[in-house]
Amino acid sequence: MDSFYIWNIGCQMNKADSERLASALEQLGLRSVEEPHDADVIVLNSCVVRQSAEDKVVGALGAMRPLKKQRTGRVVALMGCMVGPRTDGLQRRFPYVDVFMRPQQYGPLLDLVGQRLGLDWECCVGSLAPAKPSVACYVPIIHGCDLMCTFCIIPYRRGRQVSRPLNEVVQEVELLAQRGVKEVTLLGQTVDAYGCDLPEQPGLGDLLARLNDIPGLDRIRFLTSHPSFMSQPIIQAVADLPKVCEHINLPVQAGDDEVLSRMRRPYTQAKYRDLIARIRDTVPGVSLSTDIIVGFPGETAEQFQHSLELLADLRFEKVHCAAYSPRPGTIAFRTMADDIPLEEKVRRREQVEQLQESLLREINASLVGQDVEILVEGYNKGRWQGRTRTNKLVFFKDEGYHLGQLANVEITQASPWSLQGTPAARGCLPLAG
């Protein structure tokens, strides 16, 4: 047994979980391969936040049956949000899967691999930080969620909120910076609630201040916030700390108070608007994004219009729009009829996308002619690519750059989805650290 392959779907937290499992398997001496048929250990890291994601996982699981037969001793593992506290149903459906693991519970697979290799994995595996990370890396800082939004399956799968100790996160980010990471994105389902379950109750603002002092690190982001926890110290930290990027994702989910109440989102649209205004007052040039669900049970045409009005008024830089998808086990699934026809949900989602496209066309056009700082994150088809501090994707052509560099780029063309630029007067910014 010497190779592994991880298939991943879903949110940034899943990507981070996959990276951390890969780190553990590499520490046990296994190597990552590009194709599942070359691997001794195949892991599917699953997502069930929407039916479409779950369908893809089921399809990927179906492809495992012949792969399992092809190689004696091959291990197939299912990880992530498809795995709940009880696995008997999954075991009956997918008898060829050897290991079922809830999110971040790597132990069952490491036990099995350790047995096959004759190793005690707990003696071999240290920090799960990726050994060869990308220049921009995810760092989970808080697991689970204590809220029970009626549409959401995540608390049932990822459990209650648990923050990682502040010093542990700081040490991990120091290690990542030593390994060449220039940007970290701190992850949590409610990342702005960080620390309230820890004995000293540090806040996200305290953590950001500590990370801001780490040599070699250029940028810090955090994702995903909840309006109820977005405190003034956090907003002030974004305004004051030079490495913290001026970008906040703040899911609103609906622009109508009655729908928000049925979603169990503990704020009104007026309070949300006030919060956005306060963030914009405190952090000049901040870029804001949001998540919204259309077609939630009982959402009337008028209530949907309130969501559209909120989006038009607040002019977000990005909107993640999802058509409501009933998730078995959630409060909405158990207590509310999924009464908006699929065609209507799709029509509403398209309306949101059209509105957002026209807003972004205007917002991005206003950037043409401006110089922006980008972190060079990749090279594809003869162009460098990276993101601005405000999380906008920029492409530019020039030979004299390298991954991880901060570059000063003049924006020359804009579309709703990305920007094109050219290095501003050979404007490389000095490398930090």
Binding site for ligand SF4 (CB under 6 A): 145, 147-149, 152, 154-155, 189-190, 226
DSSP one-letter string for 384-432: EEEEETT--EEEE--SS--TT-EEEEEEEEE-SS-EEEEEEEEEEPPPP
DSSP code at position 228 = G
- Amino acid residing at 391: N
Q: Which two tokens stand for residue 245?
A: 């990027």
What does the DSSP 8-state code read for residue 227? G
3-state secondary structure (DSSP) of residue 293: strand
Distance in angstroms (rounded) separating the CA atoms of residues 32 and 21: 11
d(CA 53, CA 46): 8
Closest distance to ligand SF4 from the beta carbon of 161 (Å) = 9
Complex with ligand SF4: residue 109 or 234, whichever CB lies closer: 234
Closest contact distance (angstroms) between CB of 243 and ligand SF4 is 26
Q: Are 36 and 119 in contact, with CB atoms under 8 Å apart?
A: no
Shortest distance in whole angstroms from residue 99 CB to ligand SF4 = 25
The one-character DSSP state at 199 is: T
Least gap, CB of 251 to ligand SF4 (angstroms): 7
For residue 136 the two structure tokens come to 């921009």
DSSP 9-73: -SSHHHHHHHHHHHHHHHHTT-EE-SSGGG-SEEEEEE--SSHHHHHHHHHHHHHHHHHHHHSTT
Least distance in angstroms from the C-beta of 193 to ligand SF4: 9
Nearer to ligand SF4, 155 or 165 (CB): 155
Q: Tell me the chain's radius of gyration from C-alpha atoms.
A: 22
Q: Is the peptide bond before 224 cis (omega within 30 degrees of 0)?
A: yes
Nearest residue (CB) to ligand SF4, 217 versus 323: 323
Nearer to ligand SF4, 110 or 139 (CB): 139
Q: Closer CB to ligand SF4, residue 197 or residue 371?
A: 197
| Strand-strand pairing, 287-294 and 318-323 | parallel
Q: How far is the CB of 252 from ligand SF4 (least distance, A)?
A: 11
Instruction: Identify which of residues 11 and 288 has a Cβ nearer to ligand SF4 in the complex.
Output: 11
Find the shortest distance in angstroms from Cβ 295 to ligand SF4.
16
Q: How far apart are CA 112 and CA 308, in angstroms?
A: 51
Contacts of 362 (CB under 8 A, 6+ apart): none
Question: In the complex, what is the shortest distance from the CB of residue 346 to ligand SF4, in angstroms, rounded to a whole number?
Answer: 22
7 vs 151, beta carbon nearer ligand SF4? 151
CA atoms within 13 A on the CB side of 357: 6
Residue 237 C-beta-side C-alpha neighbours within 13 Å: 22
What is the number of other CB atoms lying within 10 angstroms of the CB of residue 5? 19
CB of 304 to ligand SF4, least distance (A): 19
Report the residue number, 61 or 149, with the smaller CB distance to ligand SF4.
149
Q: Taking the complex as a whole, how short is the minimal distance between the CB of residue 263 and ligand SF4, in angstroms? A: 8
**By C-beta, is 57 or 145 nearer to ligand SF4?**
145
CB closer to ligand SF4 out of 226 and 243 = 226
